[in-house]
Structure 1
């Protein structure tokens, strides 16, 4: 029996390396960041480093935008010539319309697509794609692969700690009075991506306490679950990320760690200097 040709599709919120994308022929649709009304394709027209450098030094509006449905229509028109079907895993549908456009475009082009709303982004999204490819290579039936990936969604963790509330204020997520109080008392809100939405999980004072909060959350999961790898996510503050990575390594010597730059469409809202921790329970 002929083996089915499967196309893997995602978007730039997945934080996949160029090497992995090329090796596994993953098709990546870029989201956009908008700087003073000028559109840039994420990771193509502007790198994370360039974006955060500009956010730090320039005044103006920094926004994000989903891809157009035409981006997906063109992709699926090409893919249906060479592939039997596709598996698409996208950023949370509550945070971007990317997933919806992907599904709609596949329908318009009559391209068979198994679409998964990851309900997250960044490292957990990359985990789902890598695990999905592994499961297919192991010979699992496609419906079992999709079911397994959907199950993993409840076990993804992504916590972010903005260095200040400037961008959250500019994007309308917090009021001016909240920003002022947080600045006066050095309050750090801790954001979590849960069930597809961004929620404030806690508020602590000082960077040190926020980092301990993150490590303690990881410790809670490790008491009953298995975690093989932890990603330290940062918005162009490598020194702070290295300190958090050391804290994780010292606390849990057996766990692999990785440093990742925070995807720019998230950094639009959380700002330069954001630090986070992410993992998936297995």
Structure 2
């Protein structure tokens, strides 16, 4: 069946390259800089390779958005391959200028391009890409898909517990976390992406277990007790922490349909550091049927 549109995203969706290939989704990578080297996120360097380099240097890693030219080349290649239109799904503009580069390129593309700001990042960004793929493959229109994604985005949650706030604060991604880092000892912060795409502290706890209890209260406050959620888990070399989070959520009565556990890609890990524990979720009933 001929699709009414094709899909492009950026590397911060944290979907592995082989899975993107299976989904027939094009990807434009961001750039990461670590230990004196420059790499295309997820292309020139894997998550595990990046974690090793990040651990081997005192230099704070950083990232930068793709150029408009990179997006224009990708859009025009998709047009040459037969795409009648493109849905371009990207990390929140509050966190990165990636969508802005895509918007600039879209004006000169050979086919119509709709740039959609996911207003989130990493695993929830990835969930939105996969939802768009389901709708594309079912023959839905670009307009209907965007409308559904807008509705689903409002119902999504991305919440996580970093082992340290150092990378997030120094990279300027959460200014309010600076006070937490400077005033609290042995306190783990709970951070969440807000509806406008910004990153804010939403809880805290002394030690990992209490921080995860605080994370659970955030999810409970959002969806209510016993909610049925479809989730993707997120980590940077902390599977034990992810397992503990799931145990706590299930003890609180949540019904979780886990799509998988994702290693944060280099760009995301640049800002969160090692030890990350995260949860991306949406109400199962809100997904495209």
By the TM > 0.5 criterion, same fold?
yes
CA distance in 2, matches of 1:6, 1:209: 45
Can you give the 5+ residue segments of structure 1 that lack an aligned partner in the other structure?
none
Whether contact under 8 Å (2:92, 2:117) holds in the other structure is yes
The 8 Å contact of residues 162 and 274 in structure 1, kept in 2 or not, is answered as yes
CA contact 1:37–1:61 (8 Å) conserved in 2 = no
Cα distance in 2 between the residues matched to 1:140 and 1:124? 21
- Residue 26 in structure 1 maps to residue 28 in structure 2: no
Task: State the partner residue of 1:102.
Answer: 102
Deviations 1:13-71 (A, max 9, x none): 11223343122210011111111453111111111111122222322131111112111
For 2:253 and 2:199, how far apart are their aligned partners in 1? 27
The match for 2:41 is 42
Measure the CA separation in 2 of the matches of 1:246 and 1:192: 20
Question: Could you tell me whether the CA contact under 8 Å between 2:203 and 2:218 is conserved in 1?
Answer: no
Q: Where does residue 206 of structure 1 map in the other structure?
A: 207
Give the whole-Å Cα distance in 2 for the aligned partners of 1:160 and 1:107: 36
* 1:253 Cα offset (Å): 6.8
- Which residue of structure 2 lines up, in the alignment, with residue 275 of structure 1? 277
What SS does the aligned partner of 1:255 have? strand
Separation in 1, partners of 2:33, 2:262: 22
What is the aligned residue count? Answer: 279
Task: State the 1:246 CA deviation.
Answer: 3.1
User: How far does residue 168 in structure 1 lie from its aligned partner after superposition?
Assistant: 3.3
Give a deviation string over 1:211-233, Cα, whole Å, max 9, x none: 11122233334438954422221
Q: What SS does the corresponding residue of 1:136 show, helix, strand or coil?
A: helix
User: TM-score, normalised on structure 2?
Assistant: 0.87
* Counterpart for residue 127 of structure 2: 127
**Within-5 A mapping of 1:96-245:** 96-172=96-172, 179-182=181-184, 185-194=185-194, 195-223=196-224, 227-245=228-246
Tell me how far apart the structure 1 counterparts of residues 91 and 233 of structure 2 sit (CA, whole Å).
19
Whole-angstrom CA distance in 2 between matches of 1:47 and 1:245: 26
Unaligned 5+ segments in structure 2 are: none
Q: What is the distance in 1 between the residues matched to 2:253 and 2:150?
A: 28
Contact 1:160–1:191 at 8 Å: present in 2 too?
yes
Change (3 A) 1:109 1:135: closer
Does the 8 Å contact 1:6/1:83 carry over to 2?
yes
Residue 224 to residue 138, structure 1, CA distance change in 2 (3 Å): farther
Matched residues in 1 for 2:29 and 2:226: separation?
34
- Residue 178 and residue 5 in structure 1: after superposition, are their counterparts in 2 closer, same or farther (change >3 A)? closer
